[in-house]
Every structure is written in structure tokens, then in C-alpha cells.
Structure 1
Amino acid sequence: MARIARGVEAAKQARAAIAAAKTVEQLRQAQAVVLPLEHGLSLEATAQVIGLSVGWTSRLRNAFLRGEVVGDGRTPPRGGRHHENFSPEREIEVLKPFLDRARTGGVLVVPEIKPILEAALGRPMALSTVYNLLHRHGWRKLAPDKQHPQSDAQAQQDWKKNSPRKSSSSARTGPKGHRSR
């Protein structure tokens, strides 16, 4: 026999929430409370009716019973930096000397930055974490250019036009005009 659904005291509030719902998420959350209580549906059947998984249905239902309404602006949205090493302000503080030096023409050298970040954090960190941190602050790993920044395309074209060319017959003959074998 299935358990009796809890939250009877919230049923009236959930019915009012169905009428006042402004978004689909709010409607589904209120339905996750009302359907098991007033219609006797199981959590699985309720999930199927509202079009969510059993886990999400349970999560929405429990949140409503705790007094949290989806999309009301009081509860923070899911996502974010749950495993952050530093707060964004602390990252800026630790990177400030390196970024200032780089803005004035210096080069960011990750092996120099990594030990300082590890000392500030108090434990080792992966090299990829350092690159991700620099990327968050607008820096990237530089790759060599395809051409030199001070190259002159016009001078290169002039050189090509004026350079002597070998004919195809002179390439096949030796120094005295004899064919090489």
C-alpha cells in the first residue's frame, strides 16, 4: 500500500496557486501538491500528468511544502559556481598584479602565476584551473601569428616580382648544359 501524501494543510494554498500561476513552472509545482492530495495519484502518476520526472516532481512538491514558490524571485536559481576556489572579488585581487603587468605590455606566464594562486588557495590546483581562471578574466593562451606583425606584404610582392626565375630546362641540365641523370 502506498504512503498517504503529506501536505494536507497546503492543499488549499496549492489550489489558490493553480489559479494564480503566471508560469508553467508555478502551475506544475502547485499541481504536484494538489493531484496526490485531492485525486489520490501516486508520485509517478503525478509526474506523468505534469510532464516531469519523478525526481523533479518530488523536488517541486517539497519546495512548495517548505513555502518556496518557483519563479517568485526569493529563491536563488539553480546553477552558478558551486565548486569555486575563490570568490570573483578574491580572484581579481590575487590576479591584479599580473593583469596590470600584462596590460602594460607584459606577458602572462602561467607557471609563474600558478604557485601564487596555490599559496593564496592553500592547496595545489590543476594547470587547467589556472587557464580557466584567466579565461574568466578575459585572458587567453596566445598562439603564434601566421605572419610576423611587422611584415610588409607589398615588399614581399615586389620581391617576388623582381626575383630571378629558373626555367624548367635549366633545372634539368647540369652546370655545363649537360643533362644530369
Structure 2
Amino acid sequence: MKTLIVGDRPTVERLAERLKRAGSHAEYQRIQCVLIRATLGSSAAQIAELLGWSTATVHVLHSRWSKEGDAIFELRGRGGRHHQHLSPEQEQQLLAPFVKRAEAGGMLTVAEIQQAYQEQLGKQVAPSTVYRLLDRHGWRKVVPRPRHPSSRRGGAGRL
């Protein structure tokens, strides 16, 4: 049987130290998978049973470790805005003239912001996209009242 993982002392010490610094459960298990093979020489079936994995996963991880080394322990973070039209910086630049106008007391409508957004993007977007953009940047929908609540409907009050 060909040995993919050499159990020499420096490798085992490096893996043991890395195991102590593991940042997530997934990283911890990946390091364990390689470390168990390096120290105990356990088979893939035994390691799979210990970790609750399939033997194929253990084989894949061992072969990747022999080719790529410690790079397999660096897991990519999940989440984020994968389907964004503009970066946060570009959104700030798009909203900058509207911010100035709002600070000067002007009224803004979503239709104006949507028009500017579509011109920059080069395609149509739904109004909900603009509302989400405004929400991301801390804006909220403020609509002026048509009349003051304490005003009377009939005009001048009767005495």
C-alpha cells in the first residue's frame, strides 16, 4: 500500500499545533483526519467511522493533502453578496448626489434614484432593488403628510 501521509515528527508536531489553533469545527475535523493517519496509521475506513464521514471523503482529503499540503485546511468563508449589481463603493458614489440634495432639504423619489441606477447599470431593475439599496445605506422611506393632523377639514374653525 502506498503511503500518502508521512508520519515524521515535524509533520505531526505542525499538525498538532494547527489542530490547537483550528478556527472552526470543519477545519478541526480536516486536521484530525490527516493527523490520525500520520500518527496512528489508521485506515480510511477507521478514520471515516471516527469522524462520521464516508471513506471516499477521507481518501479525497488524504490525496489532496499529499498534493496541496496545509492549504486544504484554509476554508473559504460562506455568505456575502454574491449577486450584487454594484460594489458598496459604487453604491455610495451613486447615492452621493442624492445625499447632497436631501441634506439641502430637497425631496427625493425612488423613481429618480431608480433611473440613475438603471443608467449606471445599463439594464432595468425593480423598485424593490432601489429600496433594498437605500436600506443598506441606512435610508428609510419618509413621506410628507398631505396635511397636519390637527388641521380641520372644513378650513377655518367655527366659534
Q: Same fold (TM over 0.5)?
A: yes
Q: Is the 8 A contact 1:14 1:30 kept in 2?
A: no
Shift of 1:80: 2.1
Which amino acid letter does the alignment assign opposite residue 13 of structure 1? T
Deviation at 1:90, TM superposition (A): 0.9
Q: Which residue of 2 aligns with 1:45?
A: 49
Matched, 1:133 2:141: no
Tell me what 1:89 maps to. 89
Give SS of 1:80's match.
coil
What is aligned with 1:8?
5
The 3-state SS of whatever aligns with 2:114 is: helix
Matching residue of 1:160: none
Inter-CA distance 107–144: structure 2 relative to 1 (3 Å threshold): closer
Map residues 1-181 of structure 1 onto 2, 5 A cutoff: 8=5, 13=11, 16-20=14-18, 21-23=20-22, 25=24, 26-35=27-36, 38-42=41-45, 44-48=48-52, 61=61, 65=65, 66=68, 67-68=70-71, 77-142=77-142, 148=148
Q: What is the Cα deviation at residue 133 of structure 1?
A: 0.8
Secondary structure in 1 matching 2:71: coil
The 8 Å contact of residues 98 and 108 in structure 2, kept in 1 or not, is answered as yes
Q: Deviations over 1:123-180 (max 9, x none)?
A: 22222111111111110122667x948x6xxxxxxxxxxxxxxxxxxxxxxxxxxxxx
Supply the RMSD in Å over aligned alpha carbons: 4.0
Partner of 2:156: none
Per-residue CA distance 1:79-129 (angstroms, 9 max, x = gap): 222222111111111111111111222222111111210110112222211
Q: Closer, same or farther in 2 for the Cα pair 1:101/1:70, shift >3 Å?
A: farther
Q: Is the 2:15–2:31 Cα contact (8 Å) retained in structure 1?
A: yes
Q: String of CA shifts for 1:32-74, please: whole Å, max 9, x gaps.
A: 32346732234753542xxxx77xx77xx48x83433657xxx
Letter in 2 for 1:104: A
2: distance between equivalents of 1:14 and 1:111?
A: 62
The one-letter code of the counterpart of 2:113 is I
Please say if residues 114 and 127 of structure 1, whose CA atoms lie closer than 8 Å, have aligned partners that are also in contact: yes
Q: Please, what TM-score do these two structures have when normalized by structure 1?
A: 0.55
- Secondary structure at 1:79's aligned position in 2? coil
Gaps of 5+ in 1: 152-181
Q: Give identity over the alignment, percent.
A: 32
Ranges in structure 2 where 5+ consecutive residues have no aligned partner? 151-159
SS at match of 1:39: coil
Mapped to 1, the partners of 2:101 and 2:5 lie a distance apart of 63
The structure with more radius of gyration: 1
